[in-house]
Structure 1
Amino acid sequence: MPSYRVTMTIGALQPGVRPDAVLPAAAAAAAELTTVEASDLAVVAGSARVTVRFTADDGDLALAIGEHVVATTRQVAVPATWLVTERVKGRWLPVR
């Protein structure tokens, strides 16, 4: 089964939310719909970046899962940007 990931740059936290709540919320949102392969939090150029890697049958389903993850994450943080990518021959390519 193909591997996808949704990557979000986090702009701000919702009031009263602890920083350590964002990654588990994003991973749990994906797990509601599919198998989560991995999740990660990194700081890139001074901004928090959350990545959730998951499986999906095709790009359309991956986009729907990504949108669900972003919508759920909005309850705890503000995703400034987000992108769904697919693993193809060792590279991560945007899903259109």
Structure 2
Amino acid sequence: MPSYRVLLAVGSLHPGVRPDALLPRAAAAAAEHTTVEANDIMMVRGEPQLVVRFTGADDPFALGVGAAVESTVGGLADVRSARVTRRDGGAWTLVGAV
């Protein structure tokens, strides 16, 4: 089964949301639909980016998981961008934006 990841660039948190709540909630949103392989936070050009890696049957399924994660995180913080990538050999290929 292919490996995918959803990457979400996040901005300001909504009032009352703790920063340490974002990644666990993002991973839990993906886990409602599939197996989560890993999760992490990266800094990209000074902006935090949540990364949730998961398995998926195909690209449309992965985009659906990405949309669910984006919706969950969007209720907690401003999501500046959200995209899904697929592992192809040693590289990540863009599947699409969510």
Could you tell me the TM-score, scaled by structure 1's length?
0.96
Q: Report the residue type matching 2:87 in the other structure.
A: R
Give the CA deviation at 1:42: 1.7
1:89 is matched with 89
Q: What is the CA–CA distance in structure 2 between the aligned matches of 1:80 and 1:94, rounded to whole Å? A: 17
The RMSD of aligned alpha carbons is 0.8
Give secondary structure in 1 for the equivalent of 2:57.
Answer: coil
Are 1:29 and 2:29 counterparts?
A: yes
**Residue segments in structure 1 that go unaligned for 5+ positions in a row:** none
Give secondary structure in 1 for the equivalent of 2:75.
Answer: coil
Instruction: Work out the percentage of aligned pairs sharing the same amino acid.
Output: 51
1:63 is matched with 63
Q: Report the residue type matching 1:8 in the other structure.
A: L
Q: Report the residue type matching 1:38 in the other structure.
A: A
Moved over 3 A (4+): none
Give secondary structure in 1 for the equivalent of 2:25.
Answer: helix
Give the CA deviation at 1:87: 0.1
**Residue segments in structure 2 that go unaligned for 5+ positions in a row:** none
Give the CA deviation at 1:45: 1.6
Matches within 5 A, 1:15-54: 15-54=15-54
